[in-house]
A and B are shown apart, each in its own frame.
Chain A
Amino acid sequence: MNLKGEGVRPVRPVGELMADIRRRSLENTTSTQVQPEKKAEASAISSPLRIEPTISELPVVEDRAPDPKISEEVNIPTLTERVSEAEYLATVDGRNVTTITDPSTDTEKVVASTDASMSESLPVEAEGGDFETLLTDAFSGKSPEAARELSEHLTALIEAHEKNLDALDVAVAGNPRQERTLDQFHTREMMQRAMKNSIDATLLALAAGDTVDEADLLAQQDTTRDLKKYLDKDAARLQAKFADVLPAVSTEKSEKEVVAESGVEKSELPEGPEDAAYDSLKENWKALRTVYEEQEHAYHEALRTELDIQAKSWNPLKSIPYAARKMFGFNQKLSPELEAMKADATTGAMLYRDASQALAEAKRDALTKKFADIDLGDEKVTNILARHERMLGRKLVLTRAQEQLRTMQQASSVAEHPRMQKAMEILANNKYKVMVGTVGVAMLSGAFLPVLAAMGAGVAVRKGLGGKIESLLKQASEKAGREAGVALHKERAGFATYDDTLAATEQALEKEAMAKKHPNYTNAAAFGGAVLAGGIAGGMTYESSAPTGEAMAAPEAAAPQATPETPEPVALPEVAVTPVPEAADVTPVATSEVPMTLPSQEAILPLQTPEAIPTAPLTPDMNIYAIQPGDTLWDLTKTNLTTEAGAPTDTDLMGFRNYLASNPAVLDEIGVHTGNPDIIRPGMDSIDLQKLESAYAQYTESITPQPEAAPAIEASAPEVVPASQTESVPVATEVESVSAPEAKFELPLDSAIINMVQDIETFNVEKPGFLGLFSTTELQTTSGQLFDTMKDLPLSDVEKIYTDQAFRAQVFPNGVSQEALTRWVNWIQEQNATIPAYTNLTLHDYVASVAASRNQ
């Protein structure tokens, strides 16, 4: 692997990838999906995105034959020992089934079955560390058994997902609105299966003991991790969809949960006439919603029909632009009939919006009665309702715009035209980027409008955005980082339903009231279940609906799951990775001088302040710690251990973590997962703190011979530098001042840094967002092609780019901006953000560490 491309694994063009996905979908004739009749009709509309679901409607075949192409290429025996569905289901936690109290109707039976099978993912999720371990083992190239097991596991997950979708298809049959939303699940399922097929090719080779290119292994490992993430997300979304299918059941459940989890006695929440009025209004509201959505859909169906008729007399190629304008243009002249339908739909939207408003107010009244002795604050309630109304209006706008977009893309008059198919291919390629978790694309739509406005370029929305652009961009960036590229995944899964908006408003109001009445009442405790059961699909979280954080209740009774959703304010880690002072002839660079434009410091915050860690409930035996969901060894150690010098520092903790990682016997003794010291071994409900202390003492002894390293590192605690100041620091210039790094770092560095250096090669592996860091010109090679293999560069080449001007010129024949290099540094930091030691890693540190590690 070098800069000339020799040995570099070629990057597959996205188009080729999509073609491969389609090919695999076409070859896969054994899907177990059973689509309802209605769905088959819908998929008859020819467009690239809608052709593929029809493939999965082919006859059911019990035992899926192996992909013949894959078998030929890798000469791998068929997986015959795949976990059967029955075996897999045997592990299912069927607790959700019990929530269906009256499975007397077919629909409820189907949904109950769906819910049960959806919960299949629960054990996997709970044992996420197991999956990670299996993943690591499988792609290590040393464990054919693990590769086979992972393949079987993925197969079981995919099949369970299909089964859920099938059940939901049946459950929503006859409900056009629900059927349309399920189309999106099917589209994603197709993509997920394509990903799985691709992964399987590698896993099967590994299972057969074949040698696979290391870069391929790492890329497929990432893809597998992404696939697992998507399947988990979809499982959650299916759960929400299930709640939508049976709203009455789920609503009752959520209210009960609210009461039960809040610790409030049932008698404190008596139902009065206000509740009856609310329930009555809600029925009307649902009816209006249905009417509106059917009107909107009928209007667009009629529009398609009219355009199809008109298209017969057109020259197809010349007509396309006109058709597109006519279909999507907002001011187009329609036939009187269509205009009437459009007006009806608009009227329906207004009625629905008004009903929603009335419903929200009824809810407010009911709550006010319930908590008559509490002053909710008129302003706050008003703000909540105003937000509710605004959100509803926006959802209406989006609904229509999305319908129009679909009308344009699916109209038979143009859908089969090569140009439309090309457009769909380009969009699909972008969607695929989103699907695989490109971090940058998560910012796509969030930053879209303000970016356009900032650029001007004839865009009409510039006026009025003003100084808020930066704020919104920052939010988008933080969100992208926080959700690690998954943010847009949910967006593409479909927009949030109106139920979500209403549910969010209800919850906001309830939260206000409950927080006033019960100081210990928390968001997560009260509404965690409600959010799930109430159908907060589309990624709309309760947090996103809360107007302010003022009313957040005291955290004394915080449920464990609240912790990740309510990050504490940003706190910089104590570890600062800097060169030791003895390197006097090296221009020292403070860690904080490198721009810290990480997408979300909250998200990457490796360490919680002691205040942020939930109070650890101890059993009567104070040496036994009762494991809480989400507990990590890091937390336990930081919370419960005290050394002679006080609580362990972050440096200590990192060292301890690394010590454990290299001492599985100690890990086993403590009870931590032997493959990953960050997690607690599944099934453990407590940890003996004495053993933990003993292990920590062993670690302390092991590092005793190197006492001078710690002060050198800790002495350089980073300072927070204003963004304006950091922006002015040219990163590359600082690095260039390191003339001979090999001779300048003589003292041993912290083991965490050494480990970082060893691990850092992972950032050279397939990172989809990489090309976005540089401009097209910068990446243009002397031969005129885009240089797209930088992500595959070995560690030594990356270092040379920064330290060797001639080498840099070879990589960037057209020059490279400081900004691009800075973005690269930031990108490295972002990619490594989940690992504490990488936080605050600067380019200078990086180069210095490389030199130091070589000296060692």
Chain B
Amino acid sequence: MQEDTTNQIVDLVDDSEEELNFAEEAGMVILESAITRFVLEADDEEVQALETILSAHAAAPDALPKLIETIPRFADILDEEMKGFKAQADEIL
């Protein structure tokens, strides 16, 4: 009965609003996790860059490309958190 529970990320891209809600919640927890980890691990200049970009872009979809383009470490951490979330999803489901 369950459909495609092995690929949560792909599965969440659906036309229903439920999928969107899940994407929002998942996206938020991943983003928060990535930012938290980044600030802990990065140097002062990198953190300053993150703050500047975030403050200059009210919407994350605008800020994220800038963050990833200009702060490679943030991109790496984000990637790790994405993979981690997916791995955990696979583990639970």
Interface positions of A (Cβ within 8 A of B): 13-15, 320-321, 324-325, 328-331, 346, 349, 382, 385-387, 389-391, 393-394, 396-398, 400-402, 404-405, 408-409, 414, 419-420, 422-424, 426-427, 429-430, 433, 438-441, 443-452, 455, 457-461, 464-465, 468-469, 471-473, 475-476, 479, 487-488, 491-492, 495-496, 539-540, 543-545, 547, 768-772, 775-776, 779, 786
Alpha-carbon gap, A419 to B28, bound state (A): 21
Residues in A whose Cβ lies below 8 Å from that of B25: 398, 445, 491, 495
16 pairs from A and B in contact (CB 8 Å cutoff) = A324-B36, A330-B91, A414-B40, A423-B40, A426-B39, A446-B20, A448-B60, A449-B82, A457-B65, A459-B82, A464-B9, A465-B13, A472-B23, A476-B20, A491-B25, A491-B28
B91 touches A346 (CB 8 A): yes
B60 touches A447 (CB 8 A): yes
Residues in A whose Cβ lies below 8 Å from that of B13: 450, 465, 468-469, 471-472
Residue on B nearest A386 in the bound complex, by CB: B1
- Of the candidates B10, B29, B81, the one whose C-beta lies within 8 Å of that of A398 is B29
Alpha-carbon gap, A770 to B12, bound state (A): 30
Residues in A whose Cβ lies below 8 Å from that of B31: 444-445, 448
Residues in A whose Cβ lies below 8 Å from that of B57: 771-772, 776
Residues in A whose Cβ lies below 8 Å from that of B60: 440-441, 443-445, 447-448, 451
Residue in B8, B60, B84, B93 whose Cβ sees the most chain A Cβ within 10 Å:
B60
Please classify the interface of chain A as helix (H, G, I), strand (E, B), loop, or mixed, using the class held by over half of its residues.
helix
Alpha-carbon gap, A491 to B22, bound state (A): 10
- Chain B residues with a Cβ closer than 8 Å to the other chain, count: 75
Known interface pairs A452-B64, A457-B68; A491-B87 also in contact (CB < 8 Å)? no
B40 touches A461 (CB 8 A): no
Alpha-carbon gap, A469 to B65, bound state (A): 15
B76 touches A769 (CB 8 A): no
**B35 CB to nearest chain A CB (Å):** 6
A452 touches B88 (CB 8 A): no
Residues in B whose Cβ lies below 8 Å from that of A459: 68, 75, 78-79, 82
Residues in B whose Cβ lies below 8 Å from that of A479: 17, 20
B59 touches A488 (CB 8 A): no
Please classify the interface of chain B as helix (H, G, I), strand (E, B), loop, or mixed, using the class held by over half of its residues.
helix
Residues in B whose Cβ lies below 8 Å from that of A543: 17
B1 touches A389 (CB 8 A): yes
Residue on A nearest B93 in the bound complex, by CB: A393
A444 touches B59 (CB 8 A): yes
B39 touches A419 (CB 8 A): yes
A426 touches B50 (CB 8 A): yes
- Of the candidates A401, A464, A471, A473, the one whose C-beta lies within 8 Å of that of B26 is A401
Residues in B whose Cβ lies below 8 Å from that of A440: 58-62
Residue on B nearest A540 in the bound complex, by CB: B21
Residues in B whose Cβ lies below 8 Å from that of A455: 64-65, 68
Alpha-carbon gap, A394 to B18, bound state (A): 10
- Of the candidates A324, A325, A444, A465, the one whose C-beta lies within 8 Å of that of B10 is A465
A544 touches B17 (CB 8 A): yes
Alpha-carbon gap, A78 to B87, bound state (A): 58
B20 touches A779 (CB 8 A): no
Within 8 A of A (CB), among B33-53: 33, 35-41, 47, 50-53
Residue on A nearest B90 in the bound complex, by CB: A397
A446 touches B84 (CB 8 A): no
